[in-house]
Structure 1
């Protein structure tokens, strides 16, 4: 995930095993919220095994602001793996359906109000007739090789950069002032510390920022961290999300479901196809874990 990750449903039958990947015609009936998945509680579990998580590819994903669409991002985890398919699940009535997505389609990040689609250094705005043409955030954004970008309800952007192969990317922020985003500025050392930092997420109310990074004090490889907004408006020290989320493997790409109830993130796991190596699967856990870490008044 370090430089690969950038980010149905009634209960599934017990026959839906974690190692099984469904073909297009084999997709089970999926009804209810969260693609029909049983909420995980405070134990992190794979999200939608066999539907979102597959044997063939690295998998990530996220919901649209209205929770009626789920966008899956997939990539090769080895040279032998075939080109991944583009997948989106759309809720029609009470049932989720997989819809065709043109090859090469980029997964956008939605602003919390759903009125802006962000594509790294570019964006579209919702209009009365649909979506505007693609626009640029500006030269300062174009000059950064952005992997991940998120926005708060106020329009503040938080973004990373690919950095060098050694992993020295910096996480930056940009405030929306009078309808224009200011040039990105590095976040403080509380976040930009350690070997590398990437894939940030800012809470809609800007009360915290999450990201993944590698530090000597971590569990092994990259871990998920959080920094809470202090009373004076500054960001507090980075807090490791702990053993309920982090392991000796790589964790990354944290984000919260639009309803605020669950944390989604990726973890590198051993390949399930019998081949050596590992691949990235999507996990989820109750967002209560964040409240448990939030400093008490």
Structure 2
């Protein structure tokens, strides 16, 4: 599977689920991480039967503060693509927001900005502003951005499917935004290269790509920042994370503890959200 993919019915017998997203049909979830049992060093479905169920569930991400969770799915009509937001209120997770998808949702490390491809929303009181454009460097006809990821220094890394399925990087220099530059072949090798996630401190970058040495379909790769500020080699994140199917769209939870990503389940367009302990990153980090 290439850019999009979709999920398996891992329904828990004790959990209510529905094609409707009405709160009355949503199970009572309490506690951290949407009330889910956390995974170890082998990837597991996230919220099976609740979020990851029969259908198309992608781009799961927690907002900084870990009190909000967002994911993308199809609306009840099976056509519209929507983002659904949940918020933890009095320890209970409740749906509070739904809007049409216009780019993959990511967040600034301080949680004040929601990025969506070449646009963004700023946090306003208890909600979000209208979507604004990032400007002509990003909002242009010859660029195709699915995900833009930002570091604490406001370095932007984004994919570009119109430019040949590549990753580009843009930094702030003396307060001015630089034109996004093509990243090296370390990143832009293989097919379907996309969906970058840069660590808030810029110590690593995760993305997905289909390469001959992979496990099958797109795999997740990681590169670590070197002492000389260059990027190290692309490292396949291994069989504890990747499968013989399509694995993509990784992001690390704002508390740094878990990696959320998507996995294609079958050839019928089913995708689930998976997660794994972020300690896997340290097992992959080259020893100096």
TM-score normalised by structure 2 residue count: 0.87
- Are the structure 2 counterparts of residues 41 and 295 from structure 1 closer, same or farther at C-alpha, using a change threshold of 3 Å? same
- Structure 2: distance between partners of 1:292 and 1:93: 36
Please give the secondary structure, in 1, of the residue aligned with 2:202.
coil
| Alpha-carbon separation, structure 1, partners of 2:286 and 2:189 | 21
Note the aligned Cα RMSD (angstroms). 2.7
Question: Which sections of structure 1, spanning at least 5 residues, go unmatched?
Answer: 6-11, 271-275
Is 1:2 the counterpart of 2:2 in the alignment? yes
- Higher RCO (CA 8 Å, separation ≥ 6 residues): 2
Q: Among 189, 192, 210, which residue is 1:214 paired with?
A: 210
Cα distance, 1:130–1:244 mapped onto 2, change above 3 Å: closer
Preserved CA contact (<8 Å) 2:15 2:50? no
The answer to whether residue 263 in structure 2 is matched with residue 296 in structure 1 is no
Partner of 1:284: 275
The change in CA–CA distance for 1:31 and 1:111 in structure 2 (over 3 A counts) is: same
TM-score, with length taken from structure 1: 0.84
* 1:224 paired residue number: 220
Whether 1:266 and 2:262 are equivalent positions in the alignment is yes
Residue 265 of structure 2 aligns to a residue whose secondary structure is: strand
Deviation, 1:288, is: 0.6
- State the distance in 2 between where 1:74 and 1:127 align: 25
Does the Cα contact within 8 Å between 2:3 and 2:192 map onto a contact in 1?
no
Cα drift, residue 175 of structure 1:
0.4
CA contact (8 A) 1:3 1:162 kept: no
Contact 1:21 1:55 in 2 (8 A): no
Q: C-alpha deviations, 1:201-248, integer Å up to 9, x for none?
A: 000010010000011111111100000111111001100000001111
Aligned to 1:149: 148
Structure 2: 5+ residue runs without aligned partners? 6-10
Distance 1:70 1:199 in 2: 18
